[in-house]
Every structure is written in C-alpha cells, then in structure tokens.
Chains A and B, each alone.
Chain A
C-alpha cells in the first residue's frame, strides 16, 4: 500500500487536479448551499424575486450595510410553539424508529451471520433488494394495507380477532410502521457486518465456562457488536429526523414533523427565510450525530485496513 501511495505522491503530476475536481464540485453544490441557507435565515421575507431581503446593501455613503433579521429564530423558539413541538416530535419519531429497527433488525442480522456461508449472500441480497425499488411506491403500498377496508383490517376481521376495523392509516402508528419498514435495511447491514466478523471461539469459551446461551449473548455478543449497533442506529436516526414522504402519506392530523412544517413554510407560505431558519436548526440538531457517524465509519475503515 505505502509503495503505491508514495509513488502517487511523487509521480502523479495532476494530483492537485484529481483531488480538486470532486472537492470543488462538493464545495459548490453541497457546502456553499448550507452557508447560503444560513445567510438567508437572517433575511426577512419579501414580495420580490427571490422572495427575501438582501443581507448586504450599499448605503447612500456607499458603505456596506449588513442587515440581520433575527425575527425568524425568535419566532421559532418563542412566538409559535408549533415549531418547537415539531422538532421534538420529529426527534421522538426518529428515536422510536431507531429502537424498533434495532429490536427487529438485530435478530435478523444475527440469523444471517449464523446462516450457512453459502446462504448468506442470498439473504443479504434479500435485505438490500427493496432498497432498489421505489421508496415512494413501497410507502404507498402501506396505504392499501393499513386503511379501514385495507388488507390488514380485512385479515383481522376474517380470522375473528376484531369486529370493527381498526383505524390505523393517518395516525402516528402508521407513521411508525412505515418508518421502521423503510429504514430496517439500514440497521441490518452494519449489524451484519460486525456480527459476521465476531469471533465464535469467544462464545464457545463463555459456554465452556458455564455461561448459558442468553448470558453468553449479553456478556459477549452484545458488547462486541456495539460498533454495528452505533453505526446502524445513526444510519437510521439521522435521515429519520428529516423524513418527509412517510408522515405525509401515512400520517394524519396528530402527526407533527419538522419536515412537513418546513415544506409548507416553503411551498405554501413561500416564506423562504423562515424555511431557511427551520433548516438551520435542523442541521444544528444533526451535527453531533453526523460527527459520531463519521468517527464510527473512520474507525470501521481502520479496522478493515489493519
């Protein structure tokens, strides 16, 4: 490895160009846009095109004037409780989704890791495959299952468990079901990656020393799979906080999320500065989980290299 790295360092003439091209693209289209959002969150909404006031203006004495409007953030945190409630509700949705994905995904990942080696690639492919079909259409499928005269209610009435259809669609329950369904593969894959590498001899040693299977699991397997648990939880939690399609299609009047709030602020009210302020706070909430994820991935890459 080091020989190649050294050779590349000394002999590749366009090294700067090779690094620079993707760097520049990501800077322009990913990093700078965030700074723009931050800037516009301090503007005031206006009827001009684009619909916000400029931050920097030239005064009469041609001095640069900077006008910062803090109104958006004040509105976010004190005037209107809907935003604060939406943030809390989105965080709760993401947390509940993460826990249920873990409870369901862990045994699945463990089962794949303990399956016959020849079966494992097939099982893994079955976990990944739904990811390739349209997300939107997979969520749409749940409308037909959960609605009052849908598949689930028809089935439960048919087996005699209930007499009246359960009202699930357009409730918080439906949102949880949809979120766990959509994000489950993101939990299973990193869990499988750590469980597959688990040294079985450690478990055998624990059992030889008299530990019963459940105790061996708690004392050996679970702690050793912690990196997978952390990575999987972050991969579920971070996008789940900003999930928009699932609450829109499956949620109802009691579903409050920050992304639907942001969507209506932007498209219905056309208040771009307010929508930007909502975005800025959402990014701020995700900074710590994002940094944790990057650290976890860097550690996993080191582990793979050594």
Chain B
C-alpha cells in the first residue's frame, strides 16, 4: 500500500520535511523569546525579562484588550449571520439569485484582503456622506468589516456540517407537527453545535489576527494588536514581539488541545 511512489521512504520524508517547514519558524520564535540579548537571534543566555517588559507595555496591552473585544463582537455577529447563510445555502436549493448569493459567500474566503479593505472603507465613507452614519472610522467600522469577511468561514463550516447530517430526524419532527422554526431551534441547531463552536473560534481568530482590512477601516483611537505589531516589526526584530508570539502560540495550542479532547470524549460517549 505504501509503496506506490518510489519506495516506502519518499512520502513520509516529504511529510516530515513539510511539517518541519511549517513548525520550525514558530519554534524559533518561542526559543528566542527566552534570549537575554536584545539582538534576538544572537544567543546570550536564558532570560524571561522580555515577558516582564511585555507585561508593562501599555501600548501592546491596550491594543490586545481592544482586539479581544473586537474579536468577540465580530465572531458573535459572524456566527449569527454566517449560520443563517450556511443554512440557506444548504437547505434552500433553489431561489432567485442563489448563484449570486453563493458567490458572495465564497468570494471573501479567497479575496485578497487589500481589495476588501479599500472597498469597505469607500463604502463607510460613502455611507457617512449620504446618511451621516457610521460616524467616522473606529471600533464600529472594524467590527462590521470583520463580521463581513469572517461570516463566510462560518457559513462554509455550517454548510458542510449540514450536508453531512442525516435529515431524517428533522423530517420526523416535522411529520410529528413541529413548525419549521421549532425544528430549527430544537433539532437542527443542537445537531450543528460542533460546527457552530468551530465557526465562532475561527471567526474569532481571524478577527484577532487581521491587519490589512483593519488598517483601512480603523480610525484614530482604534489601534488593534496587529496594527501595533506591524508597526513594530516593520522596523526589524523585537524581543517583546517574540514573547508576545509565545503567549499567543501557547494560548492557541491549549485551545486546540482542549477542543481535541472535547471531541474525543464526545465521540466516545456517543459511541
């Protein structure tokens, strides 16, 4: 079975090489965050002092707090609209304008962010001129922009979950006289729960990480974490950013580990 391409060694070696390529850079960030030297890649001794500096950097802490708030709001908004969009795509197979709708849902997945960013800014400027709302650029416009580009990811996850789901339970409920709204909230939504959690988390992390779209739609006083990181790393290496990266990697790994554990336990209890 494993001998289809050039012996047994080629594929595993390629996979290991690829994984080193993917994880090497992240590992190097973590290792050098404990370097005492300000010159980041020149090792001069173990130290956690950059974590101390990070803990006292108000600019980074404030930006991180703002980014978390924005990400929670955006992910929640994207979850609501994206779930409806995914449900529509999966269960309403024919309605007028469905092709356009499907296109609008999938395009933001691959659309270069710089295009989405500039067009959304022009939209906000145009809206403000026409109806006086939203007033200027700031947290509100960032959240609306983030909802728009992350809801597609939620919709795609929900759609694929619904496509793989047995509809007989929903049909049975309907045959027993439940109204479609009841079926949706009592049957469909709970069955979709894992997809909803995954969708929310993905939207959250995309919002937390977004630089390009945010740069266009943010205003004075709404500097998110990626904007701060970008302005710092443009000038070169910074040991504080290494420390910050390590914190992010740790949090993400713990989150993924918890999610994997949850899925594993769930699959065991469900048999």
Query: Which residues of A does B touch, CB under 8 Å?
Result: 1, 3-5, 7-9, 11-12, 14-15, 18-19, 21-23, 25-34, 36-37, 40, 50, 104-105, 107-108, 110-112, 114, 123, 125-127, 129-130, 132-138, 140-145, 147, 149-151, 154, 181, 184-185, 188, 200, 203, 213-214, 216-217, 221, 234-235, 238-239, 241-245, 248-249, 259, 262-263, 266-267, 272, 275-276, 279, 282-283, 286, 290, 293-294, 297-298, 301, 304-305
Tell me if A19 and B92 are in contact (CB < 8 A).
Answer: yes
Chain A residues within an 8 Å CB radius of B95: 19
Q: Which one of B52-60, B83-91, B189-197 contacts A?
A: B83-91
4 additional contacts (CB under 8 A) given A22-B101, A108-B15? A18-B87, A22-B81, A135-B209, A140-B245
Q: Which of A15, A36, A123 makes the CB contact (< 8 A) with B15?
A: A123
The answer, yes or no, to whether B47 is at the interface (CB within 8 Å) is: no
Give bound CA distance, A147 to B115, whole Å. 30
Chain B residues within an 8 Å CB radius of A104: 14, 18, 21
Interface string of B155-174 (1 = CB under 8 A from A): 10000000110010011001
Chain A residues within an 8 Å CB radius of B5: 107, 110, 213-214, 217
- Answer whether A7 and B14 are a contact pair too, CB < 8 Å, given A27-B104, A104-B21: no
The answer, yes or no, to whether B205 is at the interface (CB within 8 Å) is: yes
Q: Is the interface of A mostly helix, strand, loop or mixed?
A: helix
Give bound CA distance, A11 to B78, whole Å. 27
- B245 to chain A: closest CB distance in Å? 4
Tell me if B148 and A151 are in contact (CB < 8 A).
Answer: no
- Answer whether A33 and B114 are a contact pair too, CB < 8 Å, given A4-B170, A133-B252, A140-B241: no
Q: Which of A112, A262, A304 makes the CB contact (< 8 A) with B163?
A: A304
- B32 to chain A: closest CB distance in Å? 6
Tell me if A143 and B233 are in contact (CB < 8 A).
Answer: yes
Report the tally of A-B residue pairs with Cβ distances under 8 A: 269
Give bound CA distance, A142 to B108, whole Å. 27
The answer, yes or no, to whether B120 is at the interface (CB within 8 Å) is: yes
Tell me if B29 and A144 are in contact (CB < 8 A).
Answer: yes
Interface residues in B83-127 (C-beta closer than 8 Å to A): 84-85, 87-88, 91-93, 95, 97, 101-108, 110-116, 118-120, 122-123, 125-126
Tell me if B148 and A29 are in contact (CB < 8 A).
Answer: yes
The answer, yes or no, to whether B236 is at the interface (CB within 8 Å) is: yes
Chain B residues within an 8 Å CB radius of A185: 22
Tell me if B18 and A275 are in contact (CB < 8 A).
Answer: no
Tell me if A33 and B122 are in contact (CB < 8 A).
Answer: yes
Query: Which residues of B does A touch, CB under 8 Å?
Result: 1-6, 10-12, 14-15, 18-19, 21-26, 28-29, 32, 40-42, 81-82, 84-85, 87-88, 91-93, 95, 97, 101-108, 110-116, 118-120, 122-123, 125-126, 129, 144-145, 147-148, 151, 155, 163-164, 167, 170-171, 174, 179-181, 205, 208-209, 211-212, 215-216, 226, 229-230, 233-234, 236-237, 241-242, 244-245, 248-249, 252-253, 255-256, 260
- B262 to chain A: closest CB distance in Å? 14
Tell me if B122 and A8 are in contact (CB < 8 A).
Answer: no
Tell me if B101 and A23 are in contact (CB < 8 A).
Answer: yes
Chain B residues within an 8 Å CB radius of A239: 110-113
- B7 to chain A: closest CB distance in Å? 8
Chain A residues within an 8 Å CB radius of B92: 5, 8-9, 15, 18-19
Chain B residues within an 8 Å CB radius of A5: 91-93
Give bound CA distance, A304 to B129, whole Å. 47
Tell me if A242 and B81 are in contact (CB < 8 A).
Answer: no
- By Cβ-Cβ distance, the 10 closest A-B pairs, closest first, are A242-B112, A107-B14, A33-B119, A141-B25, A111-B11, A22-B85, A111-B15, A33-B123, A26-B104, A29-B148
- Answer whether A110 and B122 are a contact pair too, CB < 8 Å, given A21-B81, A141-B26, A263-B114: no
Chain B residues within an 8 Å CB radius of A214: 5-6
- Answer whether A151 and B41 are a contact pair too, CB < 8 Å, given A107-B10, A132-B252: yes
Chain A residues within an 8 Å CB radius of B103: 290, 294
Tell me if A136 and B229 are in contact (CB < 8 A).
Answer: yes
Tell me if A26 and B41 are in contact (CB < 8 A).
Answer: no
Q: Which of B26, B113, B119, B256 makes the CB contact (< 8 A) with A244?
A: B113
Tell me if A19 and B29 are in contact (CB < 8 A).
Answer: no
- B175 to chain A: closest CB distance in Å? 9
Tell me if B111 and A213 are in contact (CB < 8 A).
Answer: no
